[in-house]
Amino acid sequence: MVEGKVIISAALTGAATTKFQNPNVPYTPEEFADTVAKCREEGASIVHIHARRPDTGGPTADLETIGKILDAVKRKTPDIIVNLSTAIAPSVPEKDRIAPVLKFKPEIASLNTNSMNFGIGDWAKGKVLMEIIFENPFKMINNFAKAMRETGTKPEIEVYDFGGMYNVLFLQRSGIFVEPLHFQFVFGVLGGIPFSPHNLAELLELKPPSATWSVCGVAKNEFQAATAAVLQGGHIRVGLEDNIKTAKGELAKGSHELVTWARQLIELCGLEVATPEEARQILKLRP
């Protein structure tokens, strides 16, 4: 039975989080494998992976590097569900962003939904510290959705704002997505929407009734969004990609420590954490 089960996803690195910010960010295949094993032990059933160059820690689309990470992860934690990123890094061209999905055919992969300002800022001073234009035009969304259909990969539809949500609802009419859809509502990116109960409620109002959904949030948005999601039948993502600190404001010892917090939250709400096999049933991943 999967009713009342909550899926925990662990996002391990992202494209920007580095060891300089938190020394527990994995770079090497061995570090990824160790991190995944710890996250699985604490209750994660999905791990979201942005590959890193083991020497410099820079994000990479290199297929050999990605293959080594996946091999190391699966050897150590064979039942884990791997969610590959198609964002990778701002400088990576479209064909290289989707190449890992075509090559490795993961059970699930991210699919971003709109072009947007994407930044890091000092909110107290209103100062932008870093910014890019995150390009995801309609043609790219279509191409990525077609590729995922061909490989049997479930798109995790990343929604950063209401424009992205309406883009998906528009494209859904073409039949490009395999139903039911699965959404990841992302809160707190500078250029997107912050978490609030109102913003989550509006997205849930727009969501197709059959779709599953999860949330993730940047910094403190992580804990607020996760709590709201668990109370409303959603799933949650935590990890060093989104937030390098614990709920107490201390530097996290790794993504697994944030998974522990998520598991405890779920259990305090009288619910149970989904196993990888239960997560596959809930999300209707390929057999």
Please report which confidence band the pLDDT of residue 124 belongs to, taking 50, 70 and 90 as the band edges.
confident
Please report which confidence band the pLDDT of residue 287 belongs to, taking 50, 70 and 90 as the band edges.
confident
pLDDT digit string (tens) for 191-237?
999 999 999 999 999 999 999 999 999 999 999 999 999 999 999 99
Task: Identify the bridge partners of residue 251 per DSSP, sorted by sequence position.
Answer: 245
CA distance 268 to 230: 10
Global confidence as pTM: 0.97
Strands 8-11 and 46-49: parallel
Task: State how many domains the chain has.
Answer: 1
Does residue 18 carry a pLDDT above 60? Answer: yes
Does residue 1 carry a pLDDT above 60? Answer: no
pLDDT digit string (tens) for 33-56?
999 999 999 999 999 999 999 999
Residue 203 domain boundaries:
5-283
pLDDT at position 78? 98
Please report which confidence band the pLDDT of residue 4 belongs to, taking 50, 70 and 90 as the band edges.
confident
Nearest to 280 by CA among 120, 81, 82, 114: 81
Integer angstrom CA distances of residue 277 from 78, 263, 286: 12, 17, 11
Whether the CB-CB separation of 240 and 211 falls below 8 Å is answered with: no
Task: Quote the longest CA-to-CA distance of the chain.
Answer: 50
- CATH code for the domain in which residue 270 is found: 3.20.20.70
Nearest to 276 by CA among 106, 44, 38: 44
